[in-house]
Amino acid sequence: MKVISDIAQLQHHLASFDKEQIALVPTMGCLHEGHISLIQKAKRLADIVVVSIYVNPLQFGANEDLDNYPKPLEQDLSACEAEGVDFVFTPEQLYPEGSIQVGLHVNDLSQNLCGVSRPSHFDGVVTVVNILFNIVRPHLAIFGEKDFQQLTIIQRMVSDLYMGIEVIGAETVRETDGLAKSSRNRYLNDDENI
């Protein structure tokens, strides 16, 4: 497994695979069993698996948990290695000079469900996923059905922008009590987890 933070270096390595199917599993790290199931699906469907670990500031709104978002990188890398991931992409920054002047915007699909309480969230998601797609140039990408609105928006982005990438949903992995596995659910105490 190669761990790469430099964009040009990752692209150089991936350019050597001209006949192999490349799968991307984009994550913000803090990997759990749900992420592992995405990686396992990618391994079944593709020859080369790239997992990205990047906490995307664009998908956090005001007063959200960006600064406190868990970043257990060593654990994440160990999990990826155990699953036979080929490349882990760990960029420090994906936006020029720490900000972005041009991004993508989601229209109607972001105006309900999670988008109501997080108005800029999905713009941040599609912008970073577009950047990751442009860097990695995968044949397919795996996203969890847990974030069904996000999955639907990304599938629509790929269709609307003629990206030629197959976006595949993977079944939600749940706790024994039925709650979906989530990095943020680690914050819940027993009273909140009802």
Of 156, 66, 59, 173, nearest to 114 by C-alpha is 59
Supply φ then ψ for residue 23, to 5 degrees: -115, 140
Residue 131 DSSP SS3: helix
Residue type at position 69: Y
- Please return the burial class of 39, using the count of CB atoms within 10 Å of its CB with bins 0-12, 13-18 and 19+: buried
Q: Where are the alpha helices (DSSP H) in the chain?
A: 7-15, 33-45, 73-82, 114-117, 121-136, 148-160
Give the residues across from 24 on adjacent strands.
50, 141
Per-residue CA distances from 99 to 93, 103, 135, 172, 183 (Å): 9, 10, 18, 33, 25
Q: Tokens standing for 104?
A: 């993508």
- Whole-number Å distance between alpha carbons of 50 and 136: 8
Catalytic residue among 35, 105, 121, 139: 35
**121 given a catalytic annotation:** no
Catalytic residue annotation: 35
